[in-house]
Each structure stands twice: as structure tokens, then as C-alpha cells.
Amino acid sequence: MQAHQRMLDPTPNGQNSGESPLLRTIGLTKRYGDFLANDSIDIDIWPREIHALLGENGAGKSTLVKAIYGLIQPSAGEIRWQGQRIVLSGPSEARSRGIGMVFQHFSLFDNLTVAENVALGLDGKESFKDMSARLEQVSKTYGLPLDPKREVWQLSVGERQRIEIVRALMQDPKFLILDEPTAVLTPQEADQLFIVLERLKAEGRAILYISHKLEEVKRLCDTATILRGGRKVETCNPRLETAASLARMMVGGEVKEVKAASGRKTTLPRLVVNDLSLAPAEAHGVRLEHISFELKGGEILGIAGVAGNGQDELFAALSGERLSKDPGTVVIEGIAAGHLSITQRRKLGAAFVPEERLGHGTAPRMKLSENALLTGHAASGMVRRGFIDTAATLKTVDRATETFDVRKAKRDPEAASLSGGNLQKFIVGREILRNPAVLVVSQPTWGVDAGAAAVIRQALLDLATAGAAVLVTSQDLDELAEIADRIAVMFHGKLSAPLAASEASREKLGLLMGGSSLEPKEVAHAAGA
């Protein structure tokens, strides 16, 4: 093991030179079968440091932090905590040593109260009453207000994250891991989080911060470790790097820039939504309230908003998964379609790409050709006299593969066997190849690597250039800024008036995402654009 202990780059925190790292992994390796999720990773975390962990999906970030938090056992290598080698039996041991974690997909229980959720994250040595009192105190000290008696399903995403953070802080951790904490926050909520993190750092704690928002990392973090394909590529000071140079290290090459064709012309409205209201279908769903917008051919409308504000419900109402009593609420290509089924809407020239790739966008255990048939059967001649034209379905797969650079092991594999980015390219490709008049796409690049994301965004721009109307729902404001002509924000089932992309600053969008309204003058001006 000594051989591994090579000299590491001096950390940018000069003041730490006399101390030893709080946590150090040496040659940490995690193997799943033949697959190396982590390949001998060395990382040093110092007290009073915010350390970024960067990498694309599948680079091994989650695996690494799971090993540090004791959720998985490394196959080889070691973890040193305050200079001593430790073997963690599980998260509760990690917590008792002072390692806390805030999960990306919250580890909360929807049907339990805030206080119960916090209690479950602690080790139960104090009474529920004492714990509740301490919860109140911690949440007050750090300015993270919480109502301990409410059940989690009633809370917003930002509030849920507060529970996670307070829960972690109540264990007084020396080292806190945050897995993509700002992915679901409005810009303003993210700013508040940064204040809390700076304060934790000032208190002498160390923070490991996973993110792929590079500007954020440059602003907040002292050190950045970049992983690619399970290996450590570099440890650097993000403040001395540019976003582009960090992206290069993550991807291992240049990321193609997305370009909009100049002089795109808008034509007649192809998708119109008139005063659409819809009661929620599920117990915890959102009610859509009076949603109206008009989308012309050649135009991309972006819908921003924190997840769970009615985007899923709006998608279901547009795609025909849920029908509306009044046909006039959804008009596709001039035809009232609110009462029409999914297939009938597709026949009108609409195409839909849902957020969830596996299970919603594709049937995971079916082949790509079968999946192509499932959405294209009504409109693109893959069925003849009730029989499947196998050659035509395979041709569709080949065309999508070629046009969108889908990488797969064989010609026609099961959908579930593709990586997220490749499957998403296939799904978007399958719909675009049908030359839709209207494309409704939800979270087109969620969990997709940067290369594939660029391909998909470019394809959406090209489709609009060709005259289609494109509606993109996304939580990624940078993505919307890159491709959308106008941006509207969804909040509590209501849709704001769209802002022209040039006027839609992060601040304005952030206010709308948090439920505040803009000055009336400004909205009127933007709506006229």
C-alpha cells in the first residue's frame, strides 16, 4: 500500500499544509463483475475545504461517495479517516464517525412527517421529544426553516432538501457529502444553499460537492477532482480553470457547440393550448390551472420550473395520456384535439418524448425495432394489413442509429441495454425521423452525457429550423437559454406568460420558479414579443 502513497499535488489551501487530510482514499477500487466503476482513485479532503467532484454520468462519482459513506464495500484500496485506516460496516458507522451525506435522489419517506424523517437519519439515542427540540434549534441556527409536523409529500423540492441537510447537520458532521444539491433548486434557492455551505466551511467542516454545473463549482469550490470512466483525471483549483477547460477534462475532448440557424422563420401556430385546467390523477399530483400558450412553426418554447410543479401533468395532457373534456383546450395543427387519444394526436403530426426513458419512453425489455413500432405504428407504415413489417421497423432503427450516432452492441438490442445518452438519442431520433409538425419533449438531456446532449439539442434546433413547433420542458436553465426562443415558467400548476429568451435572465426565471411574479409591465412587454 505504501507504493500508492505518492506525493499529491499541494492543495490550493496553503493554510492546511501543516495538517493531515481529514479523509483520504488510496487506490480505492470498486468492481461490478468485469466493470470497474472506480479504478484506484486517490482523493484527499482537507478540513475547511469545499471539494468538488466532477464527472459525467457513469464516471463513478456516485460509486465513490457510496463507498466513503459505507453504503458499498470497496473491492480494493483503503479509506483513511483522520490518518487512520477505516473499514465502514455501513452508513450508521460513517455517521457516527462524522461523515454525513445529502442524497441526490432524496432518501426521504413521503408518508412520514419531517420530524420522523429526521429521526430515521439519526441513531435514536435521544428521545423523540429531545430530537424535535434540537431539530428546531438547528434549523433556526442555519436559517433552514422547517415545520416538523408536516408530511413530506406536502413539501416542495427545496423544502425536502432542507430536511436532508438539517438531518445531516444534526449529527454535527466533520465531513459532509452533497450529491448534486442544486439540480432541483431555483437559482435563488441555490444561492441560499451556498451561504449555508460557506458557513459550514467556516466552522471547519469539509464538504465534498458533486455537481456538473461548472460555473457553480468555480464560484464555490476550493478544489476539484475530475473523474472520467471510473478513473481520476485531475485534481485542480477550479478558480484557475475555465468552464470549458473543466468540461474538456470531464469529457476527454472538445464538446461540440450547439448552433442555431440564423434567420429562422416562424409560421402559423401549430400547437395551441387554451385555458387548460385538469385535476390531478394521482394522490400527490398537481392540478393544472388555466394554462394557455401558442406555439408557432419554427419556434422552440421552453418551459422551466422546479420538478413537480405540473410539468408531468402538462405533458400527459398534451400527449393524450390524459384527456380533457373540452376538445378545444389542446389544438394541434388547427384541429381541436383535447379529447383525442395518443394515436390520433400522432396522426395529426404530433410527436412526444417523455421524461422517463425506460418504462415511459420505451418498453425496457423490448427490442429497439419493437419500440420504434410502438410509437410509429399509426403514422409511418410499419404495419401492413395488421401485420408487422419487420424490415421497415429495422430500417427505422438503422436510420435513427445513423442520423443520431446511437452506439449499441448489436443491430437491434433491448432498450434497457443502451446507456442513458444513447437511448435518449434513439428516442428523440425515432420521433424526429417521423418529421413531426409538433414535438413535445420533456427533459431531453436529463442524465445524458455532454456529447449526446449536444447532439440532441442540435437536432431539436434543426427540427425547428425545418418548420416544426417544438415544446421543451427542462429544469436546466442553461439548456433552455441555449435552444429556446421563448421561455415560460411552471409553478404550482400555473404557467407564466412566456419571456423572450433574450430577456429571460436567470434572476427573472428564478423569481418565477419560486412563485413570485414579475412587474406587470415587464410581463406585458415580454408577452408581446
Partner 1 sequence: MELVEAIILAVLAASTPLLIAATGELVAERSGVLNLGVEGMMIVGAACGFAGAWLTGSIFIGALFGIIAGTLMSLIFALMALGLAVNQVATGLALTIFGIGLSGLIGAGFVGERITPAVHLYIPVLADIPLIGRVLFGEDGFVYFSVALIAGVWWFLYRTRAGLILRACGDNHVSAHALGYPVLRIRTFAVMFGGACAGLAGAYLPLAYTPFFIPGMTAGRGWIALALVVFSSWQPGRLVVGAYLFGAVTILQLHAQGWGVGIPSQFMSALPYLATVIVLVLLSRARTGGSTAPAALGTVFVPDR
Residue from the set 116, 234, 289, 414 that interacts with partner 1 by CB under 8 A: 116
Near partner 1 by CB under 8 A, which window of 87-95, 251-259, 391-399, 499-507?
Answer: 87-95
Which residues are within 8 A (CB) of 342 and not within 5 positions of it... i.e. 6 or more apart?
Answer: 319, 320, 321, 352
User: Counting contacts by CB under 8 A, is residue 358 touching partner 1?
Assistant: no
Q: Are 13 and 223 a contacting pair, CB within 8 Å?
A: yes
User: Counting contacts by CB under 8 A, is residue 359 touching partner 1?
Assistant: no
User: Counting contacts by CB under 8 A, is residue 365 touching partner 1?
Assistant: no
In the window 401-430, what residues touch partner 1 (CB under 8 A)?
none
Count residues binding partner 1 (CB under 8 A).
Answer: 28
User: Counting contacts by CB under 8 A, is residue 121 touching partner 1?
Assistant: yes
User: Counting contacts by CB under 8 A, is residue 35 touching partner 1?
Assistant: no
Task: Give SS3 for 520.
Answer: helix
Residue from the set 20, 76, 124, 198 that interacts with partner 1 by CB under 8 A: 124
Query: What is the C-alpha separation between 359 and 165, in angstroms, rounded?
Result: 31
User: Counting contacts by CB under 8 A, is residue 251 touching partner 1?
Assistant: no
Query: What is the C-alpha separation between 47 and 68, in angstroms, rounded?
Result: 16
Near partner 1 by CB under 8 A, which window of 68-76, 188-196, 251-259, 497-505?
Answer: 68-76
Residue from the set 95, 205, 425, 494 that interacts with partner 1 by CB under 8 A: 95
The amino acid that residue 102 corresponds to is V
3-class secondary structure per residue, 58-116: CCCHHHHHHHHCCCCCCCEEEEEECCEEECCCCHHHHHHHCEEEECCCCCCCCCCEHHH
For partner 1, which is the closer residue by CB, 89 or 502?
89
User: Counting contacts by CB under 8 A, is residue 87 touching partner 1?
Assistant: no
Q: Are 53 and 227 a contacting pair, CB within 8 Å?
A: yes
Which helix (H) or strand (E) element contains residue 27? strand 23-32
CB of 313 to partner 1, least distance (A): 17
For partner 1, which is the closer residue by CB, 313 or 476?
313
Residue from the set 13, 27, 57, 71 that interacts with partner 1 by CB under 8 A: 71
Query: What is the C-alpha separation between 165 and 318, in angstroms, rounded?
Result: 36
Residue from the set 78, 110, 180, 522 that interacts with partner 1 by CB under 8 A: 110
User: Counting contacts by CB under 8 A, is residue 108 touching partner 1?
Assistant: yes
In the window 148-207, what residues touch partner 1 (CB under 8 A)?
151, 153-154
Query: What is the C-alpha separation between 420 and 413, in angstroms, rounded?
Result: 14
Near partner 1 by CB under 8 A, which window of 86-94, 239-247, 260-268, 369-377?
Answer: 86-94
Question: Which stretches does DSSP call E strand in 327-414?
Answer: 330-332, 335-336, 350-353, 383-384, 387-388
By rule CB under 8 A, what string of x and - marks binding of each residue 268-307 to partner 1?
---------------xx-----------------------
The amino acid that residue 428 corresponds to is V
Residue from the set 27, 91, 280, 413 that interacts with partner 1 by CB under 8 A: 91
Residue recorded with cell 414535438: 439
User: Counting contacts by CB under 8 A, is residue 73 touching partner 1?
Assistant: yes
Near partner 1 by CB under 8 A, which window of 44-52, 113-121, 237-245, 337-345?
Answer: 113-121
Provide the pairing of β-strand 175-179 with 206-210: parallel
Q: What angle do CA 429, 431, 435 make, to 5 degrees?
A: 105
**Long-range pairs for 401-410 at CB < 8 Å and ≥24 separation?**
401/426, 401/429, 403/429, 403/433, 404/428, 404/429, 404/455, 404/456, 404/459, 405/455, 408/368
Query: What is the C-alpha separation between 79 and 69, in angstroms, rounded?
Result: 10
User: Counting contacts by CB under 8 A, is residue 106 touching partner 1?
Assistant: yes
For partner 1, which is the closer residue by CB, 153 or 507?
153
For partner 1, which is the closer residue by CB, 109 or 347?
109
Tell me which residues touch partner 1 (CB under 8 A). 70-73, 90-92, 95, 103, 105-112, 116, 119-121, 124, 128, 151, 153-154, 283-284
